Amino acid sequence: MTTLLRPLADRMRPRSVDEFVGQQHLLAPGRALRAALDRGQLHSMILWGPPGTGKTTLARMFAVAMDAEFIALSAVMAGVKDIRAAVDEARRWRSQGRATILFLDEVHRFNKAQQDLFLPFVEDGTIVFIGATTQNPSFEVVSALLSRARVYVLKPLGVADIQLLLQRALNDVEHGLGARRLQIEGTALQALAAAADGDARRALGLLETVADLATDGVIDEAQIAELASGTRRRFDKGGDQFYDQISALHKAVRGSDPDASLYWLARMLDGGCDPAYLARRITRMAVEDIGLADPRALPMALEAWEAHERLGSPEGELALAQCVVFLAVAPKSNAVYTALAAVREDVAKFGSLDVPARFRNAPTRLMRELGAGKGYRYAHDEADAYAAGERYLPDEMPDRRYYSPVQRGFEIRIAEAMERRRAQDNKMNTDRKDP
């Protein structure tokens, strides 16, 4: 492909580690990956990071450093036939004394059987395997392949790093846009770098587009603002970023930080998250983290959910935001959440214990003859509508106190009421022992 037909991002791909921008936690002098590059001593690896952070470029650099053959496959398009053809080619090179790097982009898209195909050839040294993925390898790469490869985490590029890349592209006559002598106004370069959201490939693609739109060789801020308005922040529905962000939203609400809660809500909406999913998770927060400390939390969450269903986006998103702020500033209690977990443990532990006879319904004469309902105390007939001293758990079970209200919000009043009931129970039990 001629230089003019290749995308700017491909033309500006670094040709040496000194030209590589970012990832200094891996490539600074003295770091293990840098040392491996400098010495040409390579091992199989998984490069995990968001798009446009240099995964493919690093793999190519290793091939140059090792003076090795480079075979690139994409899991989006490759199949078993392509893998076998690549291995056959690597074997031919090996017979001539040359190493082969097999680079698999988007390795997470291969299923377990496809990933397993690489194992014997990594094991016997036929190939040095480099996989690139935007997804967590712990979940997306088979354990056998992970055990034979080291995982390196690449980070999104900072705005300053991307500005450096963009400036290089503007100045580079041979590979970039330098021959066009473009001028860029004021803070437009910084705005363009920010719009790329840590993705070098996106940044150079935006620059290439805006350069073609430049009037009289001048890139102005208005053009960049218009171009950047249609971009989205990094967000992978169903991937790590999705679950990391919903986790951050939940923890910000639990941590009583309304500002961070709104931020993560807006990030997820901006990334294209289904608002119905957010409404469901917000409702969970209401019952898990606020609970009875503020009984208004659950109906407010349900009302916000319904409001969004009626209004749609973007108007309905305000209802979700209002609810998130309320939940963040509300008193917190997970007392019911932890109580239910403890109850479930006892249900599993004690098995199917019988309901005490006094609590069973007695709709037939036979049931009455068998003692169903005998001795039941109807609470409304008791003082204060409370059958003091009564025990409602199965007779074979020890006493349990699963629910312990916290000293926050409405649960303070609940705790006071429970304490009064327990005092009545204690008095009744004492009176029974000492008639």
Interval 210-227: pLDDT, tens: 888 777 778 877 777 777
CA distance 103 to 86: 10
CA distance 92 to 273: 48
Distances in Å between the Cα of 302 and the Cα atoms of 57, 298, 306, 379, 409 are: 49, 6, 6, 32, 20
Q: Using one digit for the tens of pLDDT, what is the confidence trace for 93-114?
A: 999 989 999 999 999 999 898 9
Nearest in space to 388 (alpha carbons), one of 396, 397, 401, 379 = 379
Mean pLDDT score, 313-342: 95
Mean pLDDT score, 77-84: 90
Write down the pLDDT at residue 240: 63
Mean pLDDT score, 318-331: 97
Q: Are 195 and 227 in contact (CB under 8 A)?
A: yes
Edge to edge, the sheet with strand 45-48 lists 69-74, 100-105, 128-133, 45-48, 150-153
Q: At what angle do helices 317-329 and 240-254 cross, to 10 degrees?
A: 50
CA distance 282 to 308: 13
CA distance 434 to 431: 5
Which residue has tokens 């390196």?
Answer: 152
Query: Does the pLDDT value for residue 237 go beyond 60?
Result: no
Q: Are 171 and 211 in contact (CB under 8 A)?
A: no
Mean pLDDT score, 273-281: 93
What's the mean per-residue pLDDT of the chain? Answer: 89
Q: Are 158 and 25 in contact (CB under 8 A)?
A: no
Mean pLDDT score, 50-57: 90
Helical H segments across 181-220, by residue range: 188-195, 200-213
DSSP 106-157: TGGGS-HHHHHTTHHHHHTTS-EEEEEESS-HHHHS-HHHHTTSEEEE--PP
Write down the pLDDT at residue 1: 45
Walk me through the domains of the chain, giving residue ranges and CATH numbers. Answer: 23-153 (3.40.50.300), 159-228 (1.10.8.60), 240-329 (1.20.272.10), 335-433 (1.10.3710.10)
**Phi, psi dihedral angles at 103 (to 5 degrees):** -100, 125
Query: Does the pLDDT value for residue 307 go beyond 90?
Result: yes
Q: Left, alpha or beta for 190 (phi > 0: left; psi -120 to 50: alpha)?
A: alpha
Write down the pLDDT at residue 223: 75
3-state secondary structure of 130: strand
Helix (H) or strand (E) run with residue 105 in it: strand 100-105
Percent of the chain with pLDDT over 90: 51
Mean pLDDT score, 41-57: 89
CA distance 270 to 61: 35
Write down the pLDDT at residue 42: 79
Identify the band that residue 4 occupies on the pLDDT scale cut at 50, 70 and 90.
low
Q: Are 53 and 41 in contact (CB under 8 A)?
A: no
Q: Using one digit for the tens of pLDDT, what is the confidence trace for 134-189?
A: 888 988 899 999 999 999 999 989 889 999 999 999 999 988 888 888 888 767 88
Q: Are 431 and 316 in contact (CB under 8 A)?
A: no
Mean pLDDT score, 185-212: 85
Specify the DSSP class assigned to residue 215.
B
Query: Does the pLDDT value for residue 3 go beyond 70?
Result: no
Mean pLDDT score, 366-395: 89
Tokens of 354: 């019988």
